[in-house]
Structure 1
């Protein structure tokens, strides 16, 4: 049986809190589906990978020409939204990223391979940016990719839909919430 890990992308104040610098009205719709996936992973003994986007204050960052300064370390926006991030569960880790993908320039692929993980379930925000980049790099690193459609979203619904279509066609599977929970059981 293939071991599975849950990758939870950017569930931070920046996107989910109404006062967040990157908040958008649809963002809170992912909160309950992502919580359900975390609960399923915890119950099933799957590894939970909490991914956060964090950047250094006062230092140049490659993303800045495309995006405004955001998720600065130590600030409100970089913090996990209430109830998300590591909570002292037995099988959870934190991955901090400075690019869209949770795999790029992090130890995530190394860690998952060391744990014998062959399959990943991905959820979080934003579908067309960090979720898609993470799914693409998971595929490139040889993992079976499952993105839980109802546990992702974006402020650009047309791009979110196109991203999910591409993920399902070229990278892995886009699954419903029950299927995602079942993969983590």
Structure 2
């Protein structure tokens, strides 16, 4: 994570900590980010993020923690993507029938996984995610996904805004370049969430398993 300077130290240092009833949210691990022919190709940062997120999913399932996967999907015209689809040309990768719209290799939804389809950056905007988390009795979100500077950040802000304690697992988030990845982890940690490494997140899930 980026070093804090005098403008942040002592100002944005507060930690909120883990919740007791989390859900694991895996945002947009789509084939688009792993296909070198796709404009959204993310390289090594996205590959390592998926590997870390899959470890978290295994630990979440062992602890009885809900696992929620998001995918992006549009009407063939893209009209349900509104101005976002109009602005971001690579979103055509998520039109019906495109292989790039499918889940990444190695990420096959299990029968007990919940899949949420979205059209905008946040996993919460225009979806039933917040109501579903409330129904499940969740007080917190362990957030992973792609990309750190886009849909992860938007989902982080909305998770916090809906009242969920939000934990961003840094190594389980990826971007196309280290600079936006690190800058957005820094800013999310300052204002909206706790950003943690993989080991503490796995330990928290193991602790929940032990007390279940």
Q: Same fold (TM over 0.5)?
A: yes
Give the structure-2-normalised TM-score: 0.81
Q: Equivalent of 2:152, from 131, 155, 166? A: 131
The answer as to whether partners of 2:74 and 2:119 remain within 8 angstroms in 1 is: yes
The answer as to whether partners of 1:4 and 1:183 remain within 8 angstroms in 2 is: no
Gaps of 5+ in 2: 1-18, 207-212
* Cα distance in 2, alignment partners of residues 173 and 80 from structure 1: 27
Decide which structure has the larger Cα Rg and report it.
2
Q: Equivalent of 2:77, from 58, 65, 89? A: 58
Q: Shift of the alpha carbon at 1:19?
A: 4.1
The CA RMSD over aligned residues, in Å, is 1.5
* Cα distance in 2, alignment partners of residues 148 and 119 from structure 1: 13
Q: Which has the higher strand share?
A: 1
Q: Shift of the alpha carbon at 1:53?
A: 1.4
Give the structure-1-normalised TM-score: 0.92
* Cα distance in 2, alignment partners of residues 156 and 83 from structure 1: 23
Partner of residue 100, structure 1: 121
Runs (4+) of structure 1 exceeding 4 A deviation are none
* Cα distance in 2, alignment partners of residues 157 and 56 from structure 1: 32
Partner of residue 181, structure 1: 202
* Cα distance in 1, alignment partners of residues 178 and 22 from structure 2: 28
Is structure 2 residue 101 aligned with structure 1 residue 78? yes
Post-superposition Cα deviations, 1:61-84, rounded to whole Å, max 9, x if no partner, equal 321232112311332011101231
- How many aligned positions are there? 183
* Cα distance in 2, alignment partners of residues 162 and 45 from structure 1: 33
